[in-house]
Chain A
Amino acid sequence: MAFLDNSGDIILDAVLTDVGRRKMANGNFRISKFALGDDEINYSQYNLDHPSGSAYSDLEILQTPVFESVTAQNSAINYGLLSMTRNDLLYIPSLKINNAFTTAVQPSGNVYYLAVNGETADRVKSSNSSPASPLGAQGQMLIGSLAGMSDKRLYIESGIDTSDEEADSVGRQNLITSVGMMDTAFSLSVDSRFISGLMQLKGNKVFSAGENSDIVTVPNELAPAAASTPTQNLTNYSTYSIRGVDNLLFAPASGTRTDPSALKGPRGTAMAATFMVKSELRKTSAAATPVLYTKYGKTAQTVFGGSDKYDYIDFICYVTGLSSTATTQIPIRIIRYSGA
């Protein structure tokens, strides 16, 4: 994939994608719409304070070389341009993982661990392992793939992550609600070879912490998410629609509590999820190592030191806010105790 020659007139280099060629072979190639992308652009190069003036702010961006077209779906447009009705937006919500809630899972390093069975969940609690595993005495850094294995959830908040704006109801209304940036749903894309389903928050609960109240409510009751659909541009991935509930966590104006949110500014919605692992990955150490670990992960690894051995598979979970289109990526490690 070379760069395009950008020394002369602007040209367009067009190719059919692999899907396009397949559709053409099947006789159902029909283009009906278009979208625009800017994946090559790094907007941090936009210099609002360029010493030569504002006309030069985008000099670096305009000199960005652009790659040739490729035929693979997932190399095309990953982050599209957005059409917003208002031109006076200054903020677009961000997604942030909240590790601070009592029932929030915490990462170990940069990875979130997902235990496949009760044996693994018990084993990795530091109180049961020797040496102590880094996943916490009670497995604070562990998501359970089945009910009863762990009460930890993956929480993600959508909102404005700047301390320049007040994290109160007025800021929420002005910067999120009124501009149509409420993420009432999130799309979670996971590797369907390993994950068979997702759990989401029940719909009648909200996150709340009044500005003048010390009471913080973090919902944690889960219900199964609806069936997934194949992810458009990621092979082997499926996308789940996960409910986003109102995030009414406001910064404290009085009282003794701390701010429970991961966002510095106004909050819109939040979600929680756990992952159900495919049954063939859930076998205990008494069974032979499932072949999926051999094919896609590593087996019999002393992940936490000591003599305990684990099989694991790593994958990335992609999260996108429905309205904000904000994205984040979460590295997840599916882990199975395989014996000492």
Chain B
Amino acid sequence: MPVQNFENLDTNTDVTTTRTLLHEVIPLTGTILSGAYADANIKNYTHGMFQSVYDYPYLSSSANHIFDITAGYDETSILSNSSGTQNSKKINLYNQFSQVLLGYTGSTTDGVRKFENDLKLDGVGAMKECFFLSFSRLLVKDQIKKGSFSITVGTGSWATAFSSSVKGEDAIRTYIDSGSSATAGTTNTIGGDYGLLYLSGATTATVAGVVFYQSGIVVLSSSAFNDGDGDSIPQFYHTLASSSYTVSEALQTASISGSADALRHRIKDISFNNTTEINSKIYFCRVPHNKYNYSSNPTYTSGSKIRVKEVASDTPRAYITTVGLYNSQNELLATAKLSEPLMKDPSNELILRVRLDY
């Protein structure tokens, strides 16, 4: 039945807005990327442009899309060759990411900026051969938290990617955006802010990729799989036909999905914190001492007598469980429930703080 007694909310004193950033830790273990579901959670497409990774076999309705992997290179890369596998698609993909994330400039052949291993965007230090990891909005939400991203890869042999070493170096490498924070260490582009992925623990700063925080895209340079001398590791990719490729050979000779397979095989884990921006409107529902002390609940009376009173002079009381927020036409727009009944009588005043998040 319609509510009879309303209390007006003053928009100047009873309503306020707040903004809160909520972060969640997103850990992605390598077993999900390769192993746990025998690739039943990996979706390849007939167009062969990218590969999708799900958190469960993708034919299941419970599966969630978590990210896509693709690879490409700039047309000025040494890998660009018309006889290469999917050569034009790889160039197109590189340019698609770069034009959306970085935009255009008049100083390059095709007018599209190149990804760089610094924050200057001055044409120096271009990363022309890259893997692209595009994370689902389901995980990223509004953006990746700056300074929270890390990706650990294995650079060992194909059979033992995470345990054997190359030239005596540690097979496991972690790339982190340790130089980025909410206030520094990033550059703003048309694709949002990006920060650099440094090799963790390196004595000299080694950048092997960039992270676009708002877009949720990680650009990983093929150099992430070079050894300390700058040479590409052997056996980056090992096909079913027993052909072994370095990372450059894989990018040039293997299909895009083959390169994506190779990258998945070498990812040990990925971790970042996502960010959700919550804009809240807070309604301060002020309940005066002289109001809402009775109830129209049918059980409130017995034979018309108020049950919580013995004599007329007893204090009336009621127990609040629900706050309804209405518009001027008395339409209920939002409901808030208290976790336990709250006693209201003429001796107390209450302020119920109802927060609606958007």
Residues of A within 8 A of B (CB): 4-6, 8-17, 19-20, 23, 29-44, 46, 48, 57-58, 61-71, 73, 76-85, 87-94, 159-162, 164, 187, 189, 231-233, 239, 264-265, 318, 320, 325-327
**A325 to chain B: closest residue by CB:** B296
Rounded to whole Å, the gap between the CB of B307 and the closest CB of chain A is 5
Cα distance, A57 to B308, chains bound together (Å): 9
How many Å from the CB of A138 to the closest CB on chain B?
A: 34
What are the residues of chain B within 8 A of A81 when measuring CB–CB? 5, 292-296, 318, 320, 344
Which of A12, A65, A233 meets B336, CB within 8 Å? A12
B342 CB-CB contact with A under 8 Å: yes
Identify B328's interface contact among A20, A30, A93, CB under 8 A: A30
Measured CB to CB, the closest approach of chain B to A158, in angstroms, equals: 10
Q: Which residue of B lies closest to A78 (CB)?
A: B1
- Across the interface, do A62 and B306 meet the contact criterion of CB distance under 8 Å? no
B97-105, B132-140, B347-355: which lies at the interface? B347-355
Task: Check: B19 CB closer than 8 A to any chain A CB.
Answer: no
Cα–Cα distance between A57 and B298 once the two chains are bound (Å): 19
Residue-wise, chain B 263-292 has the 8 Å CB interface mask toward A (1 for contact) of 000000000000000000001010100111
Knowing that A39-B297, A89-B312 touch, tell me 18 more A-B residue pairs with CB under 8 angstroms.
Answer: A31-B327, A34-B6, A34-B354, A36-B323, A36-B344, A38-B319, A41-B321, A43-B297, A62-B319, A64-B319, A66-B338, A83-B291, A83-B292, A90-B312, A91-B305, A92-B306, A187-B2, A318-B1
Q: At the interface, yes or no: B82 with Cβ under 8 Å from chain A?
A: no
With beta carbons under 8 angstroms apart, the residue of A4, A5, A12, A160 that contacts B354 is A12
Cβ contacts under 8 Å, A11 to chain B: 338-339
Cβ–Cβ contact B341 & A61, under 8 A: yes
On whether the beta carbons of A84 and B294 are closer than 8 Å, the reply is yes
Are B336 and A189 in touch, CB under 8 angstroms? no
B313: which A residues are within 8 A, CB to CB? Answer: 88
Tell me the dominant secondary structure on chain A's binding face: loop
Q: Which residues of B contact A (CB under 8 A)?
A: 1-9, 15, 283, 285, 287, 290-313, 315-328, 330-344, 346, 352-356
Chain B residue numbers with a CB within 8 Å of A16 are 333-334, 356
Specify which chain B residues have a CB less than 8 angstroms from the CB of A6 in the assembled complex: 339-340
Of the residues A15, A44, A80, A91, contact of B3 by C-beta under 8 Å:
A80
Assess A69 versus B296: contact at CB under 8 Å? Given A33-B6, A79-B1, A88-B313. Answer: no
Q: Which residue of B lies closest to A318 (CB)?
A: B1
Contacts A33-B326, A320-B1 hold; do A82 and B335 have CB atoms under 8 A apart? no
Of B304, B311, B325, chain A has the most CB atoms within 10 Å of the CB of B304
**A159 CA / B116 CA spacing, docked (Å):** 83
Given the complex of chains A and B, what is the CA–CA distance between A93 and B321 in angstroms?
24
Instruction: Please tell me if the beta carbons of A46 and B307 are within 8 angstroms of each other in the complex.
Output: yes
Cβ-defined contact, A34 with B295, below 8 A: no
Name the residue on B nearest A232 (C-beta). Answer: B2
Instruction: List chain B residues, Cβ under 8 A from A85.
Output: 290
A264 CB contacts on chain B under 8 angstroms: 303
Specify which chain A residues have a CB less than 8 angstroms from the CB of B315 in the assembled complex: 87
Q: Is the CB of B301 within 8 A of A92?
A: yes
The answer on a CB contact under 8 Å between B337 and A67 is yes
Q: Which of B287, B296, B352 contacts A82 (CB 8 A)?
A: B296
B339 touches A5 (CB 8 A): yes
Which of A9, A10, A17, A65 sits near B333, CB closer than 8 Å?
A17
Q: Are A19 and B337 also in contact (CB < 8 A) when A31-B9, A92-B304 are?
A: no
Of the listed residues A20, A30, A62, A89, the one surrounded by the most CB atoms of chain B closer than 10 A to its CB is A20
Most B CB atoms within 10 A — which of A36, A63, A83?
Answer: A36
Q: Contact: B332 with A66, CB < 8 Å? A: no
How many Å from the CB of A300 to the closest CB on chain B? Answer: 35
Q: Complex formed: what's the CA distance from A325 to B2 in Å?
A: 9
With known contacts A13-B339, A32-B8, A66-B321, A90–B306 Cβ distance under 8 A: yes
Contact B334 A17 (CB under 8 A): yes
| Chain A residues with CB below 8 A from B338, complex form | 4, 10-12, 66
Q: A69 contacts B336, CB within 8 Å? A: yes
Alpha-carbon distance between A10 and B337 when the two chains are bound, in angstroms = 10
A189-B15 Cα distance, complex, nearest whole Å:
34
Nearest 4 A/B pairs, CB to CB: A20-B333, A37-B322, A80-B3, A14-B336
- In the complex, chain A residues whose CB is within 8 Å of the CB of B324: 34-37, 76-77, 80
| Chain B residues within an 8 Å CB radius of A23 | 327, 331, 333
Distance of A17 Cα from B337 Cα, bound (Å) = 13
B319 touches A61 (CB 8 A): yes
Residue of A with least CB distance to B357:
A14
Set of chain A residues within 8 Å of B337, measured between Cβ atoms? 4, 12-14, 66-69
